[in-house]
Amino acid sequence: MRTAGGAGTWKLGDLEVNRVGYGAMRLTGNGMMGNSDGTPIGRDAAVRLLLGAFEQGVDHVDTASFYFSPLRSANELINRALTAWTGEVAVVTKVGPWRDPSGAWHAMGRPDQLRGQVEENLRQLGRDHLDVVNLRRNGPGVESVAEHFGALADLREAGLIRHLGLSNVRPEHVEEARTIAPVVCVQNSYGLDWRNADDLGLVDLCGEWGIAFVPFFAVSGLRREGAVAGEQDARVLAVARAHGASPAQVRLAWTLHRGPHVLAIPGTTSPAHLAENIAAGALRLTEEELALLDRPGPDRTR
């Protein structure tokens, strides 16, 4: 059985994690910003899935208090799984945008509201402190992260947060935040079909700064929250055939090949797909295959 250690490790501050992690968003049946991803799986099945991930070496889980539906809360499912697990798992959450109890979205909380968001994550996860909190910049109108990130830095000094990161940002936001407190990770949308972070130079800059770059939607690409549909990219299909792998594995492997500081957090509700995603960490692509995948195509958006 392949384990999440197949791609090696990286450090989120002082927390060393395997580079293949797990994204919890799809456990709830709801996607980001209210996009439905289908009916959630049962609570017991979700906890078994998470425990199965931990048993296969996943020690880095991405979540948020706003990952909830009328039936499920990702944080509470993670809490249940961690209660039954004796190993160490780094839990990475995010704040900024928020949802009220009815599920309605609010684009970006004020800096003075972030403590409440952090405390909500603490309650749901049953923890005394949060391992990593990403400030998610939500909306083009948020041109400075200084005030929001400064509020989180104060909570870090108070012991509620261990490490800080950023999400949905540009290089200038990372530079600004780094003048306030250390940044251990940057989480942006990125994959074969969506390489805006390359156009900004952000992936390479994170490597130079020693910051983990953590793509979301690395498998689904332009489909975003939606489940992976039939692969249409001939390049991906050709490489998959050569390795006896799935297209999703090729997409994940391509992402991990971008640098040792790049992590993966694919989400799934299927134990079979979970094992497949984890095994992708051990898939080694040749230089020729990487060159083939890097060629521009009609569906590539930069």
> Checking DSSP bridges between strand 185-189 and strand 161-167, what pairing results, if any?
parallel
Q: What are the residues whose beta carbons fall under 8 Å from the beta carbon of 247, sequence distance 6 or more?
A: 228, 231, 233, 236, 237, 240
Q: Among 125, 164, 148, 143, which residue's Cα sits nearest to residue 12?
A: 164
**Helix, strand, or coil here: 54?**
helix
Does 67 participate in catalysis according to the annotation? yes
Pairing of strands 130-136, 161-167: parallel
CA distance 98 to 95: 7
* 251 vs 259: CA distance, rounded Å: 14
Q: Are 111 and 150 in contact (CB under 8 A)?
A: yes
Q: Rounded to an integer, what distance in angstroms lies between the CA atom of residue 299 and that of residue 200?
A: 20
The dihedral built from the CA positions of residue 285, 289, 295 and 297, taken in this order, carries a sign that is negative
From the candidates 10, 22, 66, 67, give the one annotated as an active-site residue. Answer: 67
Distance of CA 226 to the CA centre of its chain: 15
Q: How far is CA 183 from the centre of its chain?
A: 15
Query: Could you tell me how far CA 115 lies from the centroid of its own chain?
Result: 22
Q: Which of 6, 12, 2 is nearest to 210 (CA)?
A: 12
Q: Which residues carry out catalysis?
A: 67
